[in-house]
Amino acid sequence: MGTYLILIIPILLLSMFVQWRFRNKFSKYAEMQLNSGFSGKEVAEKMLQDNGIYNVKVMSMEGQLTDHYNPTELTVNLSTDVYYGRSVAAAAVAAHECGHAVQHAKSYSWLQLRSSMVPVVSISSNLLQWVLLIGVMLIIFNGPPIVLAIGVAGLALITIFSFITLPVEFDASKRALLWLKNNHSIMYTQEENVQAKDALWWAAMTYVVAALGALANLLYYASMLFGSRRD
């Protein structure tokens, strides 16, 4: 338990800070209206058109920070605040999600790899908690380590998935920011571009912290598994 706390507490504290900073930044930039007056929906539609993408629909969905691109249904799904919002934050998020659509259209390798892993990772995530619990209980009572080994393999898969997500997210933001910078009809000023970059930077940091958390979890259970094998 001591090893686990040493691994996880710093990451939990870092995660709390990053989440607080991320939400603080988005709240701030959500109040800064674009000089151009474009809504998130209009930003998304224009970015898709500028990249020659006409088969992707821009949709509104309930919730906060629920924005995502669905490569199966070919939809850019924007939360209500982003879809109707006319702020720097709304434009940044809309462009970022369209960055994923551009990745898909251009067969970006990291996105393809991540998408191929989604079904397996989804199944693993749903079962993993119980597999690890049973595996740890067996280890405590000197049972076979095979169940824990399966759990560690599942954690390894999720950790790999988390790290593969990083280049996908950073690249989508890079595409979004470059497009916004080159489209003065949407963002008139350098200040707006800087604010959009800042907002997407902190959004990306949430994925970095998540990947580090997954790695810490993997190391903890792996050390438990290999420790039991030495015993």
Residue 68: strand, helix, or coil: strand
- What residue type is 121 in one-letter code? V
Neighbour count for residue 5 (Cβ, 10 Å): 11
Q: State the helix-helix crossing angle for 190-230 and 88-105, rounded to 10 degrees.
A: 60
Distance (Å, whole) CA 97 – CA 107: 16
Residue 38 to residue 185: CA distance in whole angstroms: 9
Three-state DSSP at 60 gives strand
By DSSP bridging, strand 75-79 and strand 68-70 are antiparallel
Closest CA to 170 of 133, 132, 211, 204: 204
Cα-based distances in Å from 157 to 3, 91, 133, 136, 185: 22, 34, 18, 19, 43
Tell me the C-alpha distance between 120 and 115, whole Å: 10
Active site residue 97: yes
Residue reference for tokens 């930039």: 29
- Residue of 42, 45, 97, 169 marked active site: 97
Residues recognised as catalytic? 97
